[in-house]
A and B are shown apart, each in its own frame.
Chain A
Amino acid sequence: MFSSWQTRWQTRWQRFFASRSPRQARVTLTQKRIYILPTRGGFAFLLLLLVLLVAGINYQNNLIYGLTFWLATVFTLATWHTYQNMAGLQLSARATAPVFAGSPAQFELTLQAGVNKRSLQLAVHTALGDSQSVAQVGDTPVRMLWAEPTTRRGWYKPERLTLSSNAPFGLFRCWAYAWLDARALVYPRPVDAVIIIDGAGQGDTRPLGSTVTQELDGFRPYRAGDHRKHIHWATLAKGQPLQTREQALQHENESWVLWEHYSGTIEQRLSAMCQRVLILSEQDKVFGLVLPDRQITPSRGYEHRAQCLQALALYGLAEERSQC
């Protein structure tokens, strides 16, 4: 009963905070975003002030009165100084690299102090409860990494970040929420295919005649540095000078990762295809990818792999999840 009431309150608060700070690529902390409350130390300080005031009254001691009022004013001024410490700070974030579903997505946060300012003793809390501290953000921006777990493929956007600081007096805690507009690409979780139709995995490797025809088996004299694999050893056997096969690249078989070769739910298929793409690029094979709505021509290399994985990650996702 109570906990559900609490949760409701929390969600209401979250909505309130969220409405005050929409997702942005770059968040600048201003008074609209910075919240401030006394810390436990601040309340202890208030208690001290009360005791001092009573002492001043009971002993009719003007210096204690003075001390009390001085410290009380310092307490109120501490709000300004604490706010000032964080004001003007700029936050921006970006994903460092795509990840596979199930492994944490890593983001890089960049903190930049306002013009001619320093921010001290900042703590960055992620929604998952881990926190990191930054001693000082001054003339140079500070970069730090944080990770959040992913479960589904597609675009992943980071949860809320909380930035807080007690500096410089420890009597007040200033904090601000930031929903940063960064996104990490989450590939499907690679899973070995359980169900393979039409011998996928083996049978998807087939020669593609059309691309190999052009300069099939051209030969040229061997030059130092040619790859051993490409040397035409047969000529040596005949006692002739060494020959190198040209366009050796094109001689390799091209592979295809085809949607129809896999079965199961969409996610299972994508996972299995993802695994296949990984294996093929591990072996540095030339391969292409075919999805119901998209075809990627065979190629290889890092860029190609990334392109294929991205296609798998975003396949069939509604606009709001692929664009969000």
Chain B
Amino acid sequence: MLIPRAVLLMIFGLMPVLLVPLIEVVPNWLIGVYLLAGAWRYGAYLGKANYPKGGVKVVLVVVSIGALGWDMGSWKGLEPMVALLLLAFALKVTELVTVRDTLILILVAYFIVAAQFLFSQSLSATFLGIAEIWWITAVLVAVNCGTQPGLLRRALRQSGTVLAQAIPLMLALFFIFPRLDPFWAVPLQSSGGVTGVSDRMNPGDIANLSRSAALAFRAEFAGPIPPNRELYWRALVLDRQVGETWRASMPEPRRSLPDVSPEIDVSITLEPTGQRWLPVLETPATLSMPALIAKSNTAFAGADIKSDTRYRLLATRDDRFDTIHPLERSRLLQLSPGRNPQTRALAQQWRGQLPSDRDYMDAVFRYFRVQPFYYTLNPPTLGANGVDEFLFTTQRGFCEHYAGAFTELMRAAGIPARVVTGYQGGELNPVSGAVVVRQYDAHAWSEVWLEGQGWVRVDPTAAVAPDRIEYGLEQALAEEGSFLENTPLSALHFKNIALINALRLRLDALSYEWQSWVLGFDRNTQSTLLTRLFQGNEPWKYAVTLALAWALVMLPLAFRLWWSERPKVSPHDRVLGDFLSLMSRHGFVREPGESLAHFQGRIASANPRGAKEASAFINAYSAHQYQPNKARYIAASELKRLLRECKRRFKA
């Protein structure tokens, strides 16, 4: 059986919906493959192209899989599998002929939806997934219901109906089904898009990142939310200078902390970064997920963060656990040789005058404040001696310029220092109570080792643009007007319009709620929830719940079946039915073809006790039912009364 045109069009509509959400993780040329496959199949539909035959098919498969392997480098990991799945879908479309082909396609499509969920579980991804499932199921219906007018609409309705009917049982299964441990270690993603701060920092990098309003992570504090100026989200510590670039060295595991009472309790939902770092605050004590906490007060996951990740962080502001080894000290003073002579000369000069570390630091800080430095998202490009140029010529820069220059000045003066990158501040969403941190909150600052004080956070940007720290980037750039200048329609531009802002915040809260809920629902949450719900966790309660959910699904259906097959009976006819069954109980069974008058005659001739009453009933019913004159109307209640008379007489 061949597939109808409407189904073909529905499948063409499905193709981009499946591909586009995954385009980040698969080679871009799959778009071309999809266009080609669609065009080929459409050509075959028009009769202008042939379906791929044996040889052509083999070549197609071999070439495209080869290209995929060459492009992705390895078959390990999830992305090649997803890419293969998407490729299989496209290739199957070209040879889509029978209903069976379509069924295979549909199964692959369901699987691709599942793959999309692997990469994003956000609210929008969920809605998209639901729409896709609706559409795919409609294709399944359409291909099995043949060609009729209005096939698409009918298929969508049927598909929507069954999916809606399935919801109660689906929810029951979702909550009750035990969350098992993974059967085997699943391959994690091997490559893919990298976002957020990275483990190397060139001047201009963070400025670039700050042009994006993409979500970095959300943080929900268990206690009071610290003021913005204290929210220094640490991602990476960069302690090596190579040329003009600051780089991170291998993280060194920290020895476990002695007992501390964590003052900060925050749950962080991190968007995929493609990197391992996990944003933390101050001195991280414990993380709820397996992670490495480094000596530099940063934390790293076991693998690249490729999907939404949620963890709870306990941290302390107590920083007395820091020490530095003499060997380490020399590493923290390292500078790339032969660069920025002016800067280093200035450092030597000041250091000569100010032997105290503290005084020297204050002097440098004062320099930034007094000199006409300008905080800008569009700093000029710098040459080989970037810091010299920045400090003495251009004096325009973004946070990484200030942090880099400051750290260089410290190191040149023999004070151990390092650059810290991460995020600063965030926006509190009053609806959800979560702090929303976006890419434009990316920040770089310095840390200086002061004997007796340990690592001290110094943010030179605060000297130049205090608004950045207090109120965030938008305020700091208000004068320049460069905040998100590339995306003029971003809702973030309309914060001052109350309605739009409220809407934006509510939407953000909703998607945060969803994400934290769907990511957070694990075995512990499940057992807490179920124990609270069922007052215990006896298996029979689950069984009963499932049975109830099943009944909830099936009862309306059974009812509908009964309702549609139920004879439509008027009240008068119902009374008549009662009358006839009364008569049959007393031996007078009316044949289907027997008229009431004849039946009446038969009863009368048998002359039972209630013959008169039965006759009266039949007369009343017939008068009501057969006489067109409205004056003959006899109420059903009157019939009921006559029926009661009959019953009484027959019983007697």
Contacts and interface: CB of A to CB of B under 8 A. Distances in A.
A and B touch in the complex (CB under 8 A): yes
Interface of B is mostly: helix
A31 to B, nearest CB: 10
Nearest to B114: A64
Contacts of A166: 144
A136 interface: yes
A59 B162 CA distance: 27
A81 B557 CA distance: 9
B111 A41 contact: no
A76 B97 CA distance: 28
Contacts of B126: 63
Given A69-B173, A170-B99, A63 B148 contact: no
B495 interface: no
Contacts of A117: 564
A134 to B, nearest CB: 9
A61 B117 contact: yes
Contacts of A74: 137, 162-163, 166
A121 B145 contact: yes
A51 B565 CA distance: 39
A55 interface: yes
A82 to B, nearest CB: 10
Interface in A52-75: 52, 54-67, 69-74
B113 interface: yes
Interface in A111-154: 114-117, 120-121, 135-136
B567 to A, nearest CB: 9
A166 B518 CA distance: 36
B180 interface: yes
A44 B103 contact: yes
B528 interface: no
A168 B141 contact: yes
Contacts of A44: 103-104, 107
Contact of B144 (A48, A61, A71, A170): A170
A66 B162 contact: no
Interface string A177-203: 000000000000000000000000000
Given A73-B169, A74-B166, A170-B103, A63 B141 contact: no
Interface string B96-112: 00011001100100110
A66 B170 contact: yes
Nearest to B173: A69
A60 B179 contact: yes
Interface string B548-564: 00000110010001001
Contacts of A41: 100, 103
A167 B165 contact: no
B386 to A, nearest CB: 44
B519 interface: yes
B182 interface: yes
Interface size class of A (residues with CB under 8 A): 35 or more
Contacts of A62: 121, 174, 518-519, 521
Which residue, of A51, A61, A63, has the highest number of chain B Cβ atoms within 10 A?
A63
Contacts of A71: 110, 133
A114 B565 contact: yes
Which residue, of A57, A62, A73, A116, has the highest number of chain B Cβ atoms within 10 A?
A73
A280 interface: no
Interface string B67-93: 000000000000000000000000000
A299 interface: no
B117 A64 contact: yes
Given A78-B162, A81-B162, A84-B561, A168 B522 contact: no
A45 interface: yes
Contact of B177 (A55, A58, A69, A80): A69
Contact of A52 (B111, B163, B173, B565): B111
A67 B117 contact: yes
Contact of A67 (B104, B114, B177, B557): B114
A25 interface: no
B186 A59 contact: yes
Contacts of B540: none
B107 to A, nearest CB: 5
B129 interface: yes
B184 A58 contact: yes
B145 A120 contact: yes
A59 B118 contact: yes
A57 B182 contact: yes
Contacts of A67: 110, 113-114, 117, 129, 133
B537 interface: no
B117 A63 contact: yes
A170 B145 CA distance: 9
B162 A87 contact: no
Contact of A121 (B146, B162, B173, B564): B146
Interface in A32-48: 41, 44-45, 48
Contacts of B522: 60
A169 interface: yes
Given A77-B165, A136-B148, A57 B111 contact: no
A12 B9 CA distance: 47
A288 interface: no
B208 interface: no
B346 to A, nearest CB: 55
Nearest to B566: A115
Contacts of A64: 114, 117-118
A80 B158 CA distance: 13
A98 interface: no
B147 interface: yes
A84 B556 CA distance: 13
A168 B183 CA distance: 36
A158 interface: no
B182 A58 contact: yes
B412 interface: no
A33 to B, nearest CB: 15
A103 B406 CA distance: 105
Which residue, of B167, B170, B182, B561, has the highest number of chain A Cβ atoms within 10 A?
B170
Contacts of B118: 55, 59, 61, 64
Nearest to B560: A84
A63 B146 contact: no
Contacts of B435: none
Contacts of A77: 162, 165-166, 553, 557
A88 B165 CA distance: 22
A207 to B, nearest CB: 52
A39 to B, nearest CB: 9
Contacts of A84: 561
B143 interface: yes
A271 to B, nearest CB: 44
B140 interface: yes
B269 to A, nearest CB: 14
A80 B144 contact: no
Interface string B22-65: 00000000000000000000000000000000000000000000
A70 B146 contact: no
Interface string B562-578: 00110000000000000
The 8 closest A-B pairs by CB, nearest first: A73-B166, A170-B144, A63-B117, A69-B173, A73-B169, A58-B182, A70-B170, A41-B103
Given A58-B182, A60-B179, 16 more contacts: A48-B111, A52-B114, A57-B179, A59-B118, A61-B118, A64-B114, A69-B174, A70-B166, A70-B170, A71-B110, A74-B137, A77-B166, A77-B557, A135-B147, A170-B99, A170-B144
26 contacts: A44-B103, A44-B107, A51-B111, A52-B110, A55-B114, A57-B181, A61-B118, A62-B121, A62-B518, A62-B519, A63-B121, A63-B125, A65-B177, A69-B177, A70-B163, A72-B173, A73-B170, A73-B173, A73-B553, A74-B163, A74-B166, A115-B565, A135-B147, A167-B144, A167-B146, A168-B144
Interface of B: 99-100, 103-104, 107, 110-111, 113-114, 117-118, 121, 125-126, 129, 133, 137, 140-141, 143-148, 158, 162-163, 165-167, 169-170, 173-174, 177, 179-184, 186, 307, 518-519, 521-522, 553-554, 557, 561, 564-565
